[in-house]
Amino acid sequence: MIHYRIMKYKTCIISKIMVYSFYILFLLITHSILAQKSDRLSFRADELKRIIIMDDGRKKPLDTYAENLLLSYSGRKRYHSRPAVEWLAKVLFAPQYAADDTVFLINNPQIADALGIIPQKKRRYCFSQLHTGIEKLDILYKQAKEKKKENYTIFENEIIRLHSIIDDYQQLSSTFNFLSPCFEIKEDVPGLKETLCIDAKKNTLSYLEILERNHLISSVLISIQKKQRSEWTLYDHYILRIAHAIFTRQHTGHSAYPFNIIPIVENNNEIWLCPWGFLNKYSVHCLNSAEIRYFKALYDAYNKKDQSGFNNAVNDYCAYCRIRYSNIIKYQDPGIELLYNRINPFFWSIVLCGITLLFSCILLTFSINKQLYIISIILLIMGFIITGSGIVARMIITGHPPVTTLYETFIFVSWASIALGLLLELFHGKAFGLFAASASGCIFLYFAVNFTGNKDTMGMLAAVLNNRFWLITHIITISLGYCGCCCAGIFGHLYLVQKFFSAQGHDSRKLEAISKMIYGALLFGILFTVTGTLLGGMWADQSWGRFWGWDPKENGALLVILWTAILLHTRKANLIQNFGIATGAVITFITVIFSWIGVNLSGVGMHSYGFTSTGAIIVIFFALFEILFLLITVTGIYIKRKQDSK
């Protein structure tokens, strides 16, 4: 009777957890749909996302550019639940309103104090707030730049970052200011409006409108040159002011602005210009060009909130660029990348792996519930498919093999770990494979999010990496090796936890099954790690002229191989038993993380991808957690053994 009540109570708990988990998943999906629906209720500039921009050596849709830009400014890919491209459109076409958007993240509160602005609780500031402290920011920036980069303090690094994004923002907000009214036409200057053919009711002109009247201004300047300075009238002085303003605008570095969306071809070379660069390059000769006409239509439609006019201008400009340059410039349809950005596959992979991890913990804690077990497998398979689809989409977009960057190694290892976990679950059952697959999926996808910084994850490859054969063979092989070792480490955690909480003689079959999985995962790991390291040596010989150079990354891979080999040989020789190989597998996990991630982010060696403070902190905390875990579990198991032997 008591046993029946306990089983009923457990079933009730499991059912409630299942219901709540699916309810949370339903809320996430509903929120995503409603957020997109709410965007349709007012004027939308998201059609702008289809325009192609050249940024960091890669042609990408404005949707990707806007998300990466906003991420670098505020640490988020959306602003107030609206797409990043909506915020970008405001910066480009109505910067006076964008100045009040709180998009500038300042992590260090000392920065706000140094700039003389009030610190905000959410650590985000608008340009209007920061504008008052720009002079102080310039001074602090110059002081910091006098030092060597390696001597920068955390405060100085933040100052340099903030100065960079503020400068970038100011340039972006000036991208289309040649279309905004800026020249005042005074009523008290007789003959000015008549000479420049300006409507009597109009009192301001844009730079573009002034440039359109360049021939009229030039003829007046010729007549002014024939006069003595003392003979200049108020009319002459004002014409000279306008001419000087035109000259100044043409020579103030606008051509170097970052918004390169206009492709041109010169001597069969592909060149991308920003609107100001295009205007300054061709001056009056481009006034009637299609590019300027479309930009003016975009600017006017946005400020008039003319939805159809705005969409038509975007569509016309995209079609014009494709038709005009299709024979010379390779234009890839941005549809796949836009879909990739919209779905955000790796976010949903984390959600599915997280729910599966929760369910697998329940299955391991209580008796196996058939319904929950089937649901967990389905969710994990969905996560596997979604992660794989994201990898394939990235391959199509970039034209590269699946693993070319540190970010992509995390994604690939998470996908491979899910596959390995599902395979082990197929042979052994008992939810151990589900736990390892979902845990590794969550861990490595989390690493992917936090180690990328705020850069484009599909950037251009370094010249030494641009070799398809070695990218496919070496990096994929070594990643599979790390996948096997990390899965063994997760099984090692599971074994030690089970051993720590189980009574003497109980759960021996479970522990034996986990031990076999650890052994199998280590075999898988060392096979691919050795193969990948040998292939890496061949690549190094081809690229750098030496097979082995004792580089930190090479030493790390060797350490993983040696440690794993020691574990396997000692287990085969019965020098250690199941408990020993489980403990060793956890140490293997730590070794792999330091070899794989720690070395890459250390800033040392030929395999370094640059130091990041966030990455270093996460790796250090990970190591401390693992050491603490081993101390608690191993000590606890040892004490329990002592007590049981008495």
For residues 372 and 363, the answer to whether their CB atoms sit within 8 Å is yes
pLDDT band at 460 (very low <50, low <70, confident <90, very high): low
Asked whether residue 128 carries a pLDDT value surpassing 70, the answer given is: yes
pTM for this structure?
A: 0.82
> Among 78-92, 158-172, 400-414, whose mean pLDDT is lowest?
400-414
Cα–Cα–Cα angle for 144, 149, 151, rounded to 5 degrees = 75
- pLDDT, tens digit, 9 for 90 and up, residues 150-192: 788 888 889 999 999 999 999 999 899 888 887 777 766 777 7
Question: What is the percentage of the chain residues whose pLDDT exceeds 70?
Answer: 85
Residue 550 vs residue 7, higher pLDDT: 550
Q: Quick one: tokens of 534?
A: 């040998």
Q: What backbone phi and psi angles, to 5 degrees, belong to 181?
A: -60, 125
| pLDDT given at position 42 | 66
What average pLDDT does the segment 605-611 reach?
Answer: 53
CB atoms within 10 A of CB 26: 10
Task: Write down the domain spans for the chain.
Answer: 2-41, 60-177, 178-255, 472-646
> Among 189-203, 249-263, 319-333, 602-616, whose mean pLDDT is lowest?
602-616
What average pLDDT does the segment 432-461 reach?
Answer: 81
| 348-383 core/surface letters (b: 16 or more CB in 10 A; e: else) | bbbbbbbbbbbbbbbbbebeebeebbebbbebbebb
pLDDT band at 340 (very low <50, low <70, confident <90, very high): very high
Asked whether residue 536 carries a pLDDT value surpassing 90, the answer given is: no
What average pLDDT does the segment 568-575 reach?
Answer: 90
pLDDT band at 207 (very low <50, low <70, confident <90, very high): confident
pLDDT band at 346 (very low <50, low <70, confident <90, very high): very high
> Among 302-306, 493-497, 507-511, 554-558, whose mean pLDDT is lowest?
507-511
Residue 516 vs residue 249, higher pLDDT: 516
| pLDDT given at position 148 | 85
- pLDDT, tens digit, 9 for 90 and up, residues 27-67: 555 555 444 444 444 678 888 999 999 888 888 999 999 99
CA 281 to CA 289: how far, in whole Å?
13
Establish how many alpha carbons lie within 13 A of residue 482's alpha carbon, considering only the half-sphere containing its beta carbon.
Answer: 28
> Among 34-38, 546-550, 609-613, whose mean pLDDT is lowest?
34-38
